[in-house]
Amino acid sequence: MIPIKTVLVIFGGVSSEHDVSLVSASSVIENIPKDKYSVLSLGITKDGRWLFYTGEPDKLPDGRWLEDEALLTPAVFSPDSVSGGLILLENGTARPIKVDAVFPVLHGKNGEDGTMQGLLELSGVPFVGCPTLASALCMDKAVANAVADAHNITQAKWLGFTKYEYTKNANALLNNAVAKLGLPIFVKPANTGSSVGVSKAKTAQELVTAVELAFNFDKKVVLEEAVDGMEVECAVLGNDETLASVPGEVVPCHEFYDYDAKYITGTSQLYIPARLTEEKLKEVQNRAAEVYKALDCRGLARVDFFVRKNDGAVLLNEVNTIPGFTSISMYPKMFEASGIPYPELLDRLIQLAFLANENS
């Protein structure tokens, strides 16, 4: 018999994607194979409290996990690599609990962006997913685009600027953007996810509104030429050796894949495999593996592309290092279509965490 390992799932977080994390984590906790792992969970509230949670995972999505105090104990994750790990703070005492691995199921800021990964690296505890560098650079769309350019990865024309620069010279920046990118232009905060603060500006006037909206979420924005094409995603798994899934396609029910189209309206369509030729599907898989390597990813990432309508060019959109993880999310679904069922996928991800730790 293989000894059971303890895996700590961390969920929630101080992020605009807190609620999405609750749904993802509930699925992850339910589907981790219990014959190999015992699962513990640590929730981070929207205002940043860390609570060890001993209740059922189905209470996560609607926030009921916070209702019963008896199931919650204040806790921290210590960076001390000798006696560190999970520490419960009970009645004025600190009680360490040994965990063999951590599975951060946190989306966006303060979880997917390298901050949590830095803490986990210091602790020396193996953890699922990308290390600090890849997490941080994939989170920042301006930095990720610049690194992709340095690797000659094809993507939409883009530029970025800060709120400070905009305050000094708004007109010149906007005129330059229209001259360089044309219209429409996609405007995004550099560091959000789930389409929060993203808009499509069709006129110079809409561009001003879009940029100002994006600055509500971040002090840096990214502007991109609008690509007219199909949205294609590819799930990648692995450390040095990688496996790219069958690519999938998203057909947003709105003009673009905004927050509502992702989570509220629910009528966006998903096709797995994407409706492309075998040759194009293969090209997307190869490109996804290249991007994964160029951005120094490990464990997992979902690499999103556009396949341009007029010439079939495969353009990188973005890399998500902790993509949506419910059983109906694209990442698990694309691997399911590639022959790896969800519980086995979770097992592989945890094993990759152990492997990365042995080799570090």
Q: Give the distance from CA 308 to its chain's centroid.
A: 24
Is residue 195 within the footprint of ligand ADP (CB under 6 A)? Answer: yes
Distance CA 35, CA 26 (A): 18
**The only residue of 16, 24, 123, 194 in contact with ligand ADP, by rule CB under 6 A:** 194
Residue 99 in contact with residue 40, Cβ under 8 Å? yes
**The only residue of 112, 113, 218, 224 in contact with ligand ADP, by rule CB under 6 A:** 224
Nearer to ligand ADP, 78 or 195 (CB): 195
**The only residue of 226, 253, 270, 355 in contact with ligand ADP, by rule CB under 6 A:** 226
Distance CA 166, CA 189 (A): 13
Number of chain residues interacting with ligand ADP (CB under 6 A):
18
Of the candidate spans 124-132, 206-214, 226-234, 334-342, the one that interacts with ligand ADP by CB under 6 A turns out to be: 226-234
Taken in order 289, 293, 296, 299, the sign of the CA dihedral is positive
b/e code 117-136 from CB counts within 10 Å (16+ = b): bbbbbebebbbbbbbbebbb
Nearer to ligand ADP, 79 or 252 (CB): 252
Nearest approach, Cβ of residue 215 and ligand ADP (Å): 16
Distances (CA, A) of 15 to 19, 113, 327: 9, 11, 22
Other CB atoms within 10 A of residue 320 CB: 23
**The only residue of 109, 188, 220, 333 in contact with ligand ADP, by rule CB under 6 A:** 188
Binding track, positions 249-268, relative to ligand ADP; x by CB under 6 A: ---x---xx-----------
Helices (H), the chain: 18-31, 115-123, 132-139, 141-150, 163-181, 204-214, 259, 278-294, 330-337, 342-358
- Cis peptide, bond prior to residue 273, ω within 30 of zero: yes
Is residue 318 within the footprint of ligand ADP (CB under 6 A)? Answer: yes
Alpha-carbon Rg for the chain, nearest whole angstrom, is 21
Nearer to ligand ADP, 198 or 352 (CB): 198
Is residue 305 within the footprint of ligand ADP (CB under 6 A)? Answer: no
Is residue 55 within the footprint of ligand ADP (CB under 6 A)? Answer: no
Nearer to ligand ADP, 224 or 336 (CB): 224
What does the binding site for ligand ADP look like in residue numbers (CB under 6 A)?
Answer: 156, 186, 188, 192-195, 198, 224, 226-227, 231, 252, 256-257, 304, 317-318
